[in-house]
A and B are shown apart, each in its own frame.
Chain A
Amino acid sequence: MIRYWPALVSVWLSLGAIAGYFAFLRVPAVRNRPELYLVAFALAALIAGVASWRAARWPNLAALALSAVLLVLGGYFNFVLARVPATATTFKIGEPAPDFTLPDATGAPVSLASFRDRTPVVLVFYRGYW
């Protein structure tokens, strides 16, 4: 088993990157650098690739297959699925925010203008559960 330590390191790195990403999802330094998991997958593929080249045995090849699949899936997610096209906003810094009225969780209408002269407002547009 000890001969296969590069394969073990590779698998550990791949799975550790996934676990680490989700474990630290609430830490902005991790969450806002999604390319970190891609670096880990690439490193894992490199280690497994070198190990497979030196000894084409199933543990090395399996580690290579796992890390390569994760690299492709992760890359697709990061560079294609998660991309949000840059479209022009209708408002600018230094200009008035468009007013609106929307119902809150109790159904009561809330308007942006009602906070005027009272308190600053942070608007958080989010995707929800879709």
Chain B
Amino acid sequence: MLTELGDAGVQILGISPDPNERSQELAERLRARYRFLADRDLAVTRRYGLVHVGGGSKGQDVPRPTTVVVDRRGIVRWLALADSFQVRPDPKAVARAVRALSP
């Protein structure tokens, strides 16, 4: 996703319940233009309706893997909801959705 979107003038925000230091490790490992936001108690994930209840390996609630494209006016323009956590949207499809936004 990062190489495809790197020059598109877009901010990628990764949101997970992970503590920040773990996310930071991941960002450095991927050398990504991500900003990782920690939603420790899943409050934001819940406000978006994206909690997978009891979906974690220890039966805890986890986010449902989801990618959302928001335009400059704050309107949702594109959405990829997974029905399996093995599946992620093709970065090219995300990049296409971003490029399709009106400037």
Asked if A100 and B64 make an inter-chain contact with CB atoms under 8 angstroms apart, the answer reads no
A60 to chain B, nearest CB (A): 31
When the two chains form the complex, which single residue of A85, A90, A93, A116 contacts B78, counting CB atoms closer than 8 Å?
A: A93
- For residue A104, which residues in chain B have a CB less than 8 angstroms away from its CB? 20, 35-38
- For residue B89, which residues in chain A have a CB less than 8 angstroms away from its CB? 28
Asked if A84 and B70 make an inter-chain contact with CB atoms under 8 angstroms apart, the answer reads no
Q: How far is the CA of A41 from the CA of B23 in the complex (A)?
A: 35
Q: How many residues of A contact B (CB 8 A)?
A: 50
Q: How far is the CA of A53 from the CA of B66 in the complex (A)?
A: 46
Say what secondary structure dominates the interface of chain A: loop
Asked if A120 and B38 make an inter-chain contact with CB atoms under 8 angstroms apart, the answer reads no
Asked if A91 and B76 make an inter-chain contact with CB atoms under 8 angstroms apart, the answer reads yes
A123 to chain B, nearest CB (A): 4
- For residue A115, which residues in chain B have a CB less than 8 angstroms away from its CB? 11, 70, 72
When the two chains form the complex, which single residue of B9, B14, B38 contacts A119, counting CB atoms closer than 8 Å?
A: B9
- For residue A28, which residues in chain B have a CB less than 8 angstroms away from its CB? 88-92
Q: How many residues of B contact A (CB 8 A)?
A: 71
- For residue B47, which residues in chain A have a CB less than 8 angstroms away from its CB? 90, 98, 100
Which of A29, A85, A89, A121 gathers most chain B CB within 10 Å? A121
When the two chains form the complex, which single residue of A85, A87, A92, A103 contacts B76, counting CB atoms closer than 8 Å?
A: A92
Which of A29, A78, A84, A119 gathers most chain B CB within 10 Å? A84
Question: What 5 A-B pairs come out closest when comparing CB atoms?
Answer: A128-B18, A128-B16, A90-B49, A102-B37, A28-B90
Binding site for A on B (CB under 8 A): 1, 5, 9-18, 20-24, 27, 34-39, 44-45, 47-53, 55-58, 60, 62-79, 81-92, 94, 98, 101
12 sampled A-B residue pairs with Cβ under 8 A: A31-B88, A32-B90, A84-B82, A93-B78, A94-B75, A98-B44, A104-B35, A119-B11, A120-B11, A121-B70, A123-B15, A125-B63
